[in-house]
């Protein structure tokens, strides 16, 4: 449950948000200075003074979650081993190799030995496509990483002749035929697809099926895409495709990459791991924003990154960090598990509509490939997880900071587990400018709200609108490609209270400058908005969830208070 109180006067509007747990509702490159180093030092001190209730998650829960997905899609396996989408009724993208790896992990763990033939059949099908240079939907870049993990897990469970055939096919893979995201005379840039291929080729090289020339060449090409905070900039800087390539690179380091790029890669991924820890929401979610947001694989890949870094910190003797990364992994897993369907697989996006209607899907989202991508990521998290490290508090639990991500036009603040995400220059195809997310542990994240709407559809974020002539102009509608210049000013930051302001230079005649003043406590978010300009009328706009595909909210108003319950 939550409530909003607002009023407006000339040039000034203010509103308060309080998120109440259900039980209370009745009453550039990563070189140079690391910009978040000081915040991390402060947060580490807060971590040592905080206690949290463990999630109860263990390493086995990764496979338990993946098992539901594998068991469901086993019914959609063709006689030749390929996995067919139950709605598209064809093989989609990398469904088959992801199924092969998730099923192979279940076999090799001893949890599901009965899946050995199904997993092996899927692996053979994926390898044939990869070696022939004809992967499903041209997504071969995504095949090799899960294929190698499946091969390593299954090679001891099959007959020598079958293993030999797999090894022949692995030697036959040619990157120039199998992959699409490659440098050519006409194509001078590579992006996240190429990173997945790098990780796959590294593993193929580790097992003796190729050399390291592809890995070394393309890691060099990828280095400029990282920011000083270690984040990866894919086109239009979507939040999901920051961590997506990084979790593959983290797996390479964990498996012993010692090539010519190790030094900058270690430093970059160390920074990035901490950045990811700071910007995770207290319900375990990746920040929203840009394409592929709100998919369950966003959280599944966090499990991989955080388990790898937890183990890394444990080996280094940094118990506080190891425990924080462990908890972050478990918070992400708990988020994924909220979306298990009665049939065992996942709703692939964060709503409960029938997947047949594709509500909230991207054009490239399918029930098969994004379920199985998440399952394969959970299998990878299981592979690297170490249950000897117990959970401790994570930054998402304690807060006390404001994170500025200028390259991603995001500001994220957290005070004692009350979390706010602001988009200062939204991608109009996916988001709106302004306060787009409010989360609190123990509160249903969908009613936070958890996101707004796309500018192209309806500019809608928590924020104000003003009169420009005969129309209302919302701050939410001022996004890319010409977002208003912004200035973020930090006033104070502690777990009990965070204060900061954001000034938008809108250049609109009636509201030349909009200043949002934020104050977060563990229980309430208060925003005071001042407008400098000629406007004499203001609105406060607030996106409220009506229906999640299964449950309708109850929205009531009384005076200046609106209440949304789910």
Q: Write down the pLDDT at residue 4.
A: 37
Confidence label for 174 from pLDDT (cuts 50, 70 and 90): very high
**Runs of H (alpha helix) within 280-407:** 296-315, 319-337, 367-384, 395-398
Per-residue model confidence (pLDDT) at position 31:
64
Torsion of CA 403, 454, 426, 5, to 10 degrees: -50
Query: Across residues 399-407, what is the average pLDDT?
Result: 98
Query: What pLDDT does residue 30 have?
Result: 58
* Stretch 341-357: mean pLDDT: 98
* Nearest Cα residue to 461 out of 397, 541, 402, 389: 541
Instruction: Average the pLDDT over each of 68-82, 194-208, 550-564 and give the range with the smallest value.
Output: 550-564
How far apart are alpha carbons 199 and 215 in whole angstroms? 8
State pLDDT tens for residues 234-269.
Answer: 999 999 999 999 999 999 999 999 999 999 999 999
Rg (C-alpha) for the chain, rounded Å, is: 24
Tell me the three state secondary structure of residue 438: strand
Query: Could you tell me if 284 and 331 are in contact, meaning their C-beta atoms sit under 8 angstroms apart?
Result: yes
What class, spelled out in words, does domain 59-384 have in CATH? mainly alpha
How far apart CA 150 and CA 105 sit, in angstroms, is: 7
Query: Quick one: pLDDT at residue 29?
Result: 57
The answer to whether residue 3 scores a pLDDT higher than 60 is: no
Residue 19 has pLDDT above 80, yes or no: no
First to last CA, the chain: 7
Residue 25: its pLDDT value, please? 47
State the chain's mean pLDDT as an integer: 95
Report residue 560's pLDDT band, with 50, 70 and 90 as the boundaries: confident
Give the closest residue to 74 by CA, choosing from 344, 341, 336, 339.
Answer: 344
Question: Domain extents for the chain?
Answer: 2-27+398-565, 59-384
List phi, psi (to 5°) of 413: -130, 150
In angstroms, the CA 153 to CA 105 distance is 7
pLDDT attached to residue 393 = 98
Any idea which of 11-20, 325-334, 428-437 has the lowest mean pLDDT?
11-20
> CB-side exposure of 490: number of CA atoms within 13 Å?
15
* Whether 465 contacts 307, CB under 8 Å: no
| Distance set, CA 498 to CA 208, 423, 474 (Å) | 53, 18, 26
Average pLDDT over every residue of 378-390? 99
pLDDT in tens, 454-500: 999 999 999 999 999 999 999 999 999 999 999 999 999 999 999 99
At residue 11, the pLDDT reads 37
Share of the chain above pLDDT 70, in %: 95
pLDDT digits (tens, 9 = 90+) for 496-555: 999 999 999 999 999 999 999 999 999 999 999 999 999 989 999 999 999 999 999 999
CB contact at 8 A, 396 and 280: yes
Say what the pLDDT of residue 18 is.
58
Strand-pair category, 497-508 with 410-415: unpaired
Q: Are 17 and 561 a contacting pair, CB within 8 Å?
A: no
Smallest CA-to-CA distance from 297 within 339, 325, 260 is with 339
Least Cα distance to 408 among 281, 237, 229, 224 occurs for 237
Q: How far is CA 309 from CA 242, 262, 305, 470, in A?
A: 16, 16, 6, 55
Question: Buried b vs exposed e over 79-102: b needs ≥16 C-beta within 10 Å?
Answer: eebbbbbbeeeebbbbbbbbbbbb
Q: Which of 426, 446, 421 is nearest to 436 (CA)?
A: 421
Task: Summarize the confidence of residues 394-418 as an average pLDDT.
Answer: 98
**Closest to 175 in 3D by CA, of 208, 147, 221, 215:** 215
pLDDT of residue 34: 97
Three-state SS at 154: helix
Q: What is the DSSP letter of 232?
A: B
Residues 105/379, Cβ–Cβ less than 8 Å: yes
Question: What residue has token string 């291929």?
Answer: 197
- Inform me whether the pLDDT recorded for 362 exceeds 70: yes
């Amino acid at each position: 449950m939550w409530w909003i109180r607002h009023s407006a006067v000339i040039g000034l509007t203010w509103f308060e948000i309080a998120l109440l747990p259900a039980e209370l509702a009745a009453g550039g490159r990563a070189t140079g200075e690391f910009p978040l180093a000081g915040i991390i030092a402060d947060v580490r001190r807060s971590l040592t003074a905080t206690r949290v209730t463990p999630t109860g998650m263990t390493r086995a829960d990764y496979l338990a979650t993946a098992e539901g997905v594998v068991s469901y899609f086993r019914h959609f396996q063709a006689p030749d081993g390929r996995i067919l989408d139950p709605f598209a009724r064809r093989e989609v993208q990398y469904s088959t190799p992801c199924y092969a790896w998730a099923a192979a992990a279940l076999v090799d763990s001893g949890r599901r030995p009965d899946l050995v033939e199904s997993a092996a059949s899927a692996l053979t099908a994926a390898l044939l496509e990869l070696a022939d240079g004809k992967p499903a939907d041209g997504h071969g870049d995504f095949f090799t990483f899960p294929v190698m993990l499946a091969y390593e897990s299954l090679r001891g469970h099959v007959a020598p002749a079958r293993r030999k055939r797999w090894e022949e096919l692995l030697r036959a893979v040619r990157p120039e035929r199998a992959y699409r995201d490659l440098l050519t005379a006409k194509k001078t840039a590579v992006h996240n697809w190429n990173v997945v291929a790098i990780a796959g080729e590294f593993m193929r090289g580790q097992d003796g099926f190729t050399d390291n020339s592809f890995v070394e060449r393309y890691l060099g090409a990828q280095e400029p895409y990282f920011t000083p905070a270690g984040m990866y900039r894919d086109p239009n800087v979507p939040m999901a495709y920051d961590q997506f390539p990084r979790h593959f690179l983290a797996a390479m380091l964990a498996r012993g990459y010692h090539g010519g790029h190790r030094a900058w890669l270690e430093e970059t991924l160390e920074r990035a791991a901490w950045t990811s820890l700071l910007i995770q929401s207290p319900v375990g979610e990746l920040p929203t924003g840009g394409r592929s947001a709100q998919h369950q694989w966003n959280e599944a890949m966090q499990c991989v990154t955080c388990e790898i870094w937890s183990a890394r910190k444990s080996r280094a003797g940094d118990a506080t960090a190891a425990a924080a990364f462990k908890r972050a992994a478990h918070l992400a897993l708990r988020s994924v598990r909220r979306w298990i369907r009665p049939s065992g697989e996942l709703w692939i996006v964060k709503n409960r509509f029938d997947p047949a209607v594709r509500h909230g899907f991207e054009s490239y989202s399918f029930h098969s490939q994004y379920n199985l991508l998440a399952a394969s990521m959970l299998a990878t998290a299981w592979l690297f997880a170490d249950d000897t490290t117990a959970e401790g508090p994570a930054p998402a639990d304690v807060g006390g900071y404001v994170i500025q991500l200028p390259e991603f036009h995001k500001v994220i603040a957290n005070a004692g587990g009350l979390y706010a995400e602001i988009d200062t220059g939204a991608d109009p195809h996916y988001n709106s400018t302004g306060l787009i997310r409010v989360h609190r542990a123990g509160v249903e994240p969908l009613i936070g709200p958890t996101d707004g709407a796309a500018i192209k559809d309806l500019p809608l974020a928590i924020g104000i609108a003003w009169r420009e002539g005969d129309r209302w102009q919302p701050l939410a509608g001022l996004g890319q490609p010409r977002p208003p210049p912004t200035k973020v000013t930090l006033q104070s930051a502690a777990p009990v209270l965070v204060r900061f302001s954001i000034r938008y230079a809108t250049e609109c005649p009636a509201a030349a400058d909009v200043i949002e003043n934020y104050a977060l406590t563990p229980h309430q978010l208060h925003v005071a908005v001042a407008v400098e300009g000629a406007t004499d009328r203001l609105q406060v706009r607030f996106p409220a969830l009506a229906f999640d595909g299964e449950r309708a909210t109850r929205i009531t108003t009384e005076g200046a208070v609106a209440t949304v319950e789910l």
